[in-house]
């Protein structure tokens, strides 16, 4: 929940988003285990995935594109997730006690590489990177608001939420990701609108993966009544 005692100019107070997901303690094991059996997601054994080329292409589309309202980065090494995946030895985390959202995103992307085909990996990677941007957009505002309330917002450079926080709160932002963030930026020029059902499927799968790996105590199911 946002603290809305004081909102600076340029900050948009958010209403309750349309519910696409509900929290659930139900059993979605079949959905999870069979997810990559679908032909559009299934791994092709003979296919080679050039990670470097894929990362560079997505970086150019999302973070080096002036039309997208995302942080503009000059080179791929400036992106924490992509840089860590391309240089795992150089970016090996020494303190493993605190697993951050960024650590979790990296693990899920590595998981996807071994599970799916090239086209679906490109699709999935784009969604996961945008979900990270969405979390930081909304959660960073929360952090600033809290600092304003206690009068400590001046001269404090805050890290991104996903760089320092654990993954428990990731599922709670998923409805806003689908109903506010992606549509507001016209799906970043990607073909997400025509594949909206698959975007929902992947987000649900990711959250179930979080739950199965004990990164969150929340599990999502699609709320068909409100779609």
Whether residue 94 is predicted with pLDDT greater than 50 in this model: the reply is yes
Q: Is 1 contained in some domain?
A: no
- First-last CA distance in the chain: 23
Q: In the prediction, which pLDDT does 27 show?
A: 56
Q: Which helix (H) or strand (E) holds 85?
A: helix 80-86
Map residue 220 onto helix, strand or coil.
strand
Is the predicted pLDDT of residue 8 greater than 60, yes or no? Answer: no
Confidence of residue 5 (pLDDT cuts 50, 70, 90): very low
Quick check: is 153 in a domain? yes
User: What's the domain range around 163?
Assistant: 21-42+52-88+98-226
**Which tens digit of pLDDT belongs to each residue from 169-206?**
999 999 999 999 999 888 888 889 899 999 999 999 99
Lowest mean pLDDT of 89-103, 108-122, 212-226, name the range.
89-103
- What's residue 4's pLDDT? 25
Q: Each residue of 141-158: pLDDT tens digit?
A: 766 655 554 455 555 667
Number of domain units in the chain: 1
- Contact in structure between 53 and 212 (CB atoms under 8 Å): no
Q: How confident is the model at residue 112, as a pLDDT?
A: 96
For residue 47, is it within any domain? no
pLDDT for res 42 = 96
Mean pLDDT across 161-174: 92
- The confidence score (pLDDT) of residue 91 equals 63
Tokens of 51: 């990670």
Give the count of beta carbons closer than 10 Å to the beta carbon of residue 40. 12
Q: Is a pLDDT exceeding 90 seen at residue 124? A: yes
Contacts of 71 (CB under 8 A, 6+ apart): 63, 133
Q: Is pLDDT above 70 for 6?
A: no
Q: How confident is the model at residue 140 (pLDDT cuts 50, 70, 90)?
A: confident
Q: With respect to residue 34, please indicate whether it lies within any of the assigned structural domains.
A: yes
- Helix 101-113 to helix 118-149 angle (10° resolution) is 180
Mean pLDDT of the region 96-114: 92
Is 90 exceeded by the pLDDT of residue 115? Answer: yes
Q: Is residue 93 part of a domain?
A: no
Higher-confidence residue of 68 and 22: namely 22
């Amino acid at each position: 929940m946002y603290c809305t005692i004081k909102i600076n100019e340029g900050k948009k107070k958010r209403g309750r988003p349309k519910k696409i997901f509900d929290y659930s303690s139900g059993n979605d094991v079949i959905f999870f285990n069979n997810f990559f059996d679908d032909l559009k997601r299934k791994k092709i054994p003979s296919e080679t995935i050039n990670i470097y080329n894929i990362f560079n292409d997505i970086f150019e589309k999302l973070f080096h594109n002036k039309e997208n309202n995302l942080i503009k980065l000059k080179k791929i090494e400036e992106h924490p997730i992509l840089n860590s995946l391309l240089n795992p030895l150089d970016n090996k985390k020494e303190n493993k006690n605190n697993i951050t959202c960024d650590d979790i995103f990296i693990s899920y992307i590595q998981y996807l590489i071994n599970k799916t085909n090239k086209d679906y990996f490109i699709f999935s990677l784009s969604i996961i990177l945008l979900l990270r941007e969405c979390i930081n957009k909304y959660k960073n505002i929360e952090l600033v608001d809290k600092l304003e309330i206690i009068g400590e917002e001046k001269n404090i450079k805050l890290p991104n939420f996903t760089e320092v926080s654990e993954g428990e709160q990731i599922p709670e932002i998923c409805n806003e990701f689908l109903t506010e963030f992606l549509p507001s930026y016209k799906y970043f020029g990607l073909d997400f609108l025509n594949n909206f059902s698959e975007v929902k499927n992947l987000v649900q799968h990711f959250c179930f993966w979080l739950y199965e790996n004990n990164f969150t105590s929340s599990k999502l199911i699609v709320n068909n009544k409100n779609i």
